[in-house]
Amino acid sequence: MDLTISRATTLKDRPEDSDLTFGTLFTDHMFNMDYNPEKGWHNPRIEPYTNIDMDPSTMVLHYGQAIFEGLKAYRTDTGDVQLFRPKENFARFNRSARTMCIPEFDEGFALDALKQLIEIEKEWVPKTTGTSLYIRPTIIAMDPFVGVRASHTYRFFIILSPVGAYYKEGFNPVKIWVTKEHVRAVRGGVGHVKTAGNYAASLLAGDKAQKAGYSQVLWLDGVEQKYVEEVGSMNIFFVFNDELVTPELSGSILPGITRDSVLALATSWGIKTTERKISIDEIFDAHKNGSLKEVFGTGTAAVVSPVGVVKYGDDIITIGNGEVGPVSNRFFSALTDIQYGKTEAPAGWIEKV
């Protein structure tokens, strides 16, 4: 497949790094590619950023057959631009495609196209530490049809957004709220892939948490509502004494790339890591007996997000005096140092653009 490139004739004003928030501004160009059963994935192109023209009956609007990814490009001190573990994102994207009955794509081709898109948009990659270019690959069902089945046609697109911190708290502890009233994902469902509906399903509980003064929901499993699964849209980690523990990938948890990176770094540093079921009662008991040292979320958007307060029913606990603990700090520094090219990365983690 040949990638065609058409350039925008007028360019947008680029923001100052200090004005960047998350996900509100998009660059001048995007990648597009279409699928139909006759041609497969075809017509890959980089073109000016523009609206997607669709019939009101387009399937994605009705049944949510949509998948996406989130990854970032970082600018190093020498001015280079680099991606953090992008192959993992495209591999997960194809796993999401299989789960959502979407045709798979060529991962190597998509990564090359992304690199070319970023090359064109290089000036949009911000320079200040804490900022980056957020990359959002997406595939949506395009058949104009309101019967329920998998679509026959699809659009694959990639858009780019220069970003600052994801949470208004920045790298500061957030307060989280445990709910038994709502679940994010169920056994046999689609919680393990990055599909739009998982995020839609999280909104009402997220809203209730915010109204109660908390920034995130701590999700419990959908079967017994007993075991911790995720926090907001991130994976979650606990430090019990010297051990790092995270929920095992049960089928309803997203296999985060930052999650995997934290586990790999911890192992390389000689920290004991365990992936297992963790009940919410165990967490409150561990707080009571002093063994719960730290709690933090991990994700592409925030990297590491320390948790300061957890509310469960009428019980509220404060972790580490509500301050950022040394383990969260160490992971945040190590990951961001790798992402910004300040330290050497484990083999295969960094792709230069």
Binding footprint of ligand COI on the chain (CB under 6 A): 70, 233-234, 299-302
Instruction: Please say which residue, 138 or 300, places its beta carbon nearer to ligand COI.
Output: 300
Q: Which is nearer to ligand COI, 138 or 151 (CB)?
A: 138
Strands (E), the chain: 4-5, 29-36, 40-48, 66-68, 71-75, 81-84, 132-141, 154-163, 174-178, 216-220, 228-231, 234-240, 243-247, 272-276, 292-299, 303-312, 315-318, 350-352
CA separation for the pair 135, 117 (Å, rounded): 10
Residue number, 70 or 130, with CB nearest to ligand COI: 70
- Tally of helices (H runs) and strands (E runs) in the chain: 8, 18
Nearer to ligand COI, 46 or 295 (CB): 295
Task: Please state the closest distance from residue 176 (CB atom) to ligand COI, in A.
Answer: 14
Location of structure tokens 């959908």: 222
| CA gap 260, 272 in Å, rounded | 14
Q: How far is the CB of 239 from ligand COI (least distance, A)?
A: 20
Tell me the C-alpha distance between 259 and 175, whole Å. Answer: 20
Q: Residue type at 265?
A: L
CA distance 288 to 312: 14
CB of 234 to ligand COI, least distance (A): 5
Q: Closer to ligand COI at the Cβ: 126 or 232?
A: 232
How near is the Cβ of 290 to ligand COI at its closest, in Å? 30
* In the complex, minimum distance from the CB of residue 281 to ligand COI, in angstroms, rounded to a whole number: 27
Q: Give the 3-state secondary structure of residue 282.
A: helix
Show the CA angle centred on residue 335, arms to residues 95 and 259, nearest 5°.
35
Nearer to ligand COI, 286 or 295 (CB): 295
Shortest Cβ 194–ligand COI spacing (Å): 8
- State which residue, 236 or 286, has the beta carbon closest to ligand COI: 236
d(CA 134, CA 300): 9
> Parallel, antiparallel, or unpaired: how do β-strands 4-5 and 243-247 relate?
unpaired
Q: How far is the CB of 315 from ligand COI (least distance, A)?
A: 27
Give DSSP secondary structure letters for 68-109. Answer: E--EEEEE-TTS-EEEESHHHHHHHHHHHHHHTT-----HHH
For the record, the structure tokens of 12 come out as: 């947008």
Select the residue whose beta carbon is closest to ligand COI and give its number.
299
Question: How near is the Cβ of 71 to ligand COI at its closest, in Å?
Answer: 9
Name the minimum Å distance from CB 31 to ligand COI. 19
Q: Which C-beta is closer to ligand COI: that of 136 or that of 277? A: 136
Cβ proximity to ligand COI, 94 vs 233, nearer residue: 233
